[in-house]
Amino acid sequence: MNRKPRPLIVVAAIILLSTSAWLGAEDSGDWRSLKNEAKRAKIDEMAQWSLDKVLAGREKAQPLYDACYGWAVFDNLKIALGFSGGGGNGVAVNTGTGERTYMKMGTAGIGLGLGGQKYQVVFLFQNEAVFNRFVEKGWKADASAQAAAGTDGANATTGFVNGIAVWQITDKGLMASADITGTKYWKNKKLN
C-alpha cells in the first residue's frame, strides 16, 4: 500500500524547519562568523551567568555546588509545531582543575505543542565517574533525568539523583523540575 504524506504533517515540518532556522539565525546573531575563541567566550559567559543565577538565593543549590566534582551549562532553543526539535551549545567544567570541555545538545520528538522556548540547563555532577561519563561518552536524558521539585519550586532539590542535580532557567525563572527528556549531549569537536 502506497501512502501519501499527510498535508498537515508536511506543512508542520516545513514551518518547524523554517522557524527553527529563523530563530537560530536571529538568536545567534553572527555566531557562524565568529572564530572558535569568540564562540567559547560567549558560551563561558552564558554558563557563568546561568550558574550564578542558580546559586543566587538558592540556599539548597550552594551546598550541592560546593560538594560537586563538576558542572555543565547549556543554552538551548526548542521549537514545537506538532514535531519538536532543538539544539544548543554548552560547557562542562571540572571544578578542581577548571578544565573546560565544550559540548553540544540536541532534542527531537513528536507530540502536542506550538511555539518556541529558549532556556538554559544547569547540571551539577556529584563525582568524577558521573562527570567523566557525561563528558567522554555523552549522555541521553531519559525520564529519570528530571529533578523533583514538587510544590516547593526551585529550592526543592536537596540532593543528587543518580549523581546529577539539574535546574532549568526559562523566561519564567528558575525551575528545579527540568524537562530535559529526549535530549542528547555530546562533545563539540570544533570547539575543543
- The tens digit of pLDDT for each residue in 121-135 reads 999 999 999 999 999
pLDDT higher than 90, residue 68: yes
Strand 100-125 relative to strand 183-187: parallel, antiparallel, unpaired? antiparallel
Mean pLDDT value across residues 85-103: 96
Q: What's the gap between Cα 131 and its chain centre?
A: 15
Q: Which residue has the cell 558542572?
A: 71
Assign 121 to helix, strand or coil: strand
**Measured distance CA(47)–CA(28) in Å, rounded:** 15
Tell whether the torsion through CA atoms of 27, 86, 126 and 151 is positive or negative: positive
Highest mean pLDDT among 19-28, 32-41, 143-152, 178-187: 32-41
Q: What is the pLDDT, as a whole number, of residue 93? A: 98
**Measured distance CA(128)–CA(88) in Å, rounded:** 24
Mean pLDDT value across residues 159-182: 73
Q: What is the pLDDT, as a whole number, of residue 6? A: 52
**Measured distance CA(102)–CA(174) in Å, rounded:** 23
